[in-house]
Amino acid sequence: MGHAVILLGAVFLAAVSAFVWRRHYARRERKLLYRLEEMIAKARQGELAHTEISETEFSALENSFKCFLEESQLLADSQRRQKELVHGLISDIAHQTLMPIANLKMYAELLSEADGQNHELTDVLKGQADKLDFLIHSLVKLSRMEHGLIHVRPGAASVALLLQRLRQDYSSAAVEKGVTLHMAETTLSAVFDMKWTQEAVGNLVDNAIKYTPPGGRVDMEAKAYPFFIRLDIRDTGIGIPKGEICKVFGRFYRGLAVQDEPGVGIGLYLAREIIQAQKGYIKVSSKEGAGCVFSVFLPVSPIL
């Protein structure tokens, strides 16, 4: 009987001890989780203090976690400063080159008017000045987009109005090239930023006209899907070789077949960045010598 009482007492004490230890460790774990959550909240607000941590004040896990957050914050600050520096340099370059480029164009015009025998040379001079001007403005747009200084503001907008504006913008270029620019009628709408989407799709239309020979055709049409509107820019141009399709959206990439054509290889990259910023995407299908189709997919409702 005595042994049974002792055994029961031992079991009881063991149970009580286990219960107390569980409560003790559970309390410590809750406090630890609370402190880790507090660290994350401060890191998100940029208020995490860069102080040394001793093992007597924090657990080893807290120490490692806080070091990780501090390093992440330092890296983010460094990247932000670098982006600001790059953007500042590009903006300065753009500002400083405005006047020289304008002067080049003016003197090229004066030379062309004063000397009727060197039209070819002055045309080359004007063409190169225009190319430099386009490059500088494209770099500024690209820099602003990559560094988050351009904010697209998608909202419900008319696809028909977008296509009409594109037709107005590029009709004269199509006529000058001898290319038919056709817009299919539509009543569709989607969620996009009209200004920046016009810029993005305009690059696709400009390329289609540029790389379609005289007598060819460029079609713009929209189709409805359950979650997206597909906007197709279809041409009968030179097409894209199979091995280059995966490269055409690269920054400054230009295919071998178009090296002699005007351009700097930024348009498609910028178009993709603008469309992706609006939760859309671009696809391309092509066959060399048989034209290509650039398809822009725009959401029909806001995507969080």
Tens of pLDDT, residues 228-250 = 999 999 999 888 888 787 787 87
221 and 170 within one domain: yes
Q: Would you say 147 and 89 are in contact if contact means Cβ atoms under 8 Å apart?
A: no
From 37, 40, 35, 42, select the one nearest 58 (Cα to Cα).
35
User: Does residue 162 have a pLDDT over 70?
Assistant: yes
Determine the Cα–Cα distance for residues 61 and 81; give it in Å rounded to an integer: 30
State pTM to two decimals: 0.60
170 and 136 within one domain: no
From 37, 299, 71, select the one nearest 191 (Cα to Cα).
299
Q: pLDDT digits over 281-296, tens only?
A: 999 998 887 889 999 9
Residue 244 CA, chain-centre distance (Å), reads 21
Determine the Cα–Cα distance for residues 137 and 90; give it in Å rounded to an integer: 10
Q: How many domains does the chain have?
A: 2
Residue 174: burial class (beta carbons within 10 Å; 0-12, 13-18, 19+): buried
Query: Which CATH number covers residue 213?
Result: 3.30.565.10
Domain presence at residue 74: no
* Helix segments in the chain, DSSP class H: 2-44, 60-114, 119-146, 159-177, 194-210, 267-276
- 3-state class (DSSP) for residue 221: strand
Domain presence at residue 46: no
227 and 108 within one domain: no
295 and 174 within one domain: yes
Domain presence at residue 8: no
User: Does residue 7 have a pLDDT over 60?
Assistant: no
* Helix segments in 179-220, DSSP class H: 194-210
Q: What is the pLDDT of residue 132?
A: 75
167 and 192 within one domain: yes
Domain presence at residue 75: no
From 257, 255, 262, 268, select the one nearest 130 (Cα to Cα).
262
Domain presence at residue 295: yes
276 and 179 within one domain: yes
- Give Rg (Cα) of the chain: 31
Question: Domain span at residue 111?
Answer: 88-146
Domain presence at residue 36: no
110 and 230 within one domain: no
Domain presence at residue 14: no
162 and 142 within one domain: no
Residues comprising the chain, all counted: 304
161 and 121 within one domain: no
